[in-house]
Amino acid sequence: MENITISKLNYWKVHKKKFAAITAYDFSFAKLFSNQGVPVILVGDSLGMTIQGNSSTLPVKVKDIEYHTKAVRKGAPNVFLLSDLPFMSYYETKIALKNTAKIIQSGANMIKIEGGKWLIKIIKELSERSILVCGHIGLTPQSFNYLSGYKVQGKEKNDANKLIEEAFLLEEAGIKMLVVECIPALLAKQITENLSIPVIGIGAGSNTNGQILVMQDLLGITEGKTPKFSKNFLSESGSIQNAIQRYIKEVKNSLYPNNMYSY
């Protein structure tokens, strides 16, 4: 695989070339995903649930993200690698800078943080130091308790307008990519079309620039109830490799997510 950079992702947005992304947490899967042509991998704090067996992402520590980032980078040296800053690891600028440095030094190209207006100062400080930042709005799993669970966000007009405003403010502050999670497809389309940066959707319809899935959801090995937007690509593919190829193809051709997997 060619080396994937933020410039390449911006080029794809301008030329309306959709791309697939996936979470990974170890060397072996990162290598497999990279070899199949996945250009973007996220070391997500979802590892708190998928790897550690917790009921939420909240127990994940910075050292956990560092460890898994190092492993994934070894397996996928040329992908564009995002890593989450976990819960309460960026509540003020000084702390955010310290923890970001650890994760970038572990091999990430970009860090991802959840939230809206309150992040503006932190994003500006990170961006001024040439650190690539990805925002995350809509359903933000680190706000699990505040949101009273995992629910679709932005269904009401006022809530939708707030998310649109936050997206603009975050881009103005300096984010270079945005993840929108569990929001109506039409709202995601509006945000994507009005931002100049790549927008990745998860449970946000097919009109974003990219799509991301948790690898366990994509492979149909998630325990318990799965989100509406998750699709088991392995069930009809015969192998993990074929499942990843099918996922990439369906994203590129706007076949996934269709209405069945959207809000």
Residues involved in catalysis: 181
Q: To 10 degrees, the CA torsion angle through 97, 99, 102, 104?
A: -60
What is the rounded distance in angstroms from the CA atom of residue 213 to the CA atom of residue 237?
17
The DSSP-derived string for 173-201 is: HT-SEEEEES--HHHHHHHHHH-SS-EEE
What is the rounded distance in angstroms from the CA atom of residue 168 to the CA atom of residue 156?
19
Q: To 10 degrees, the CA torsion angle through 50, 51, 54, 57?
A: -70
Q: Does the bond joining 77 to the residue before it have cis omega, within 30 degrees of 0?
A: no
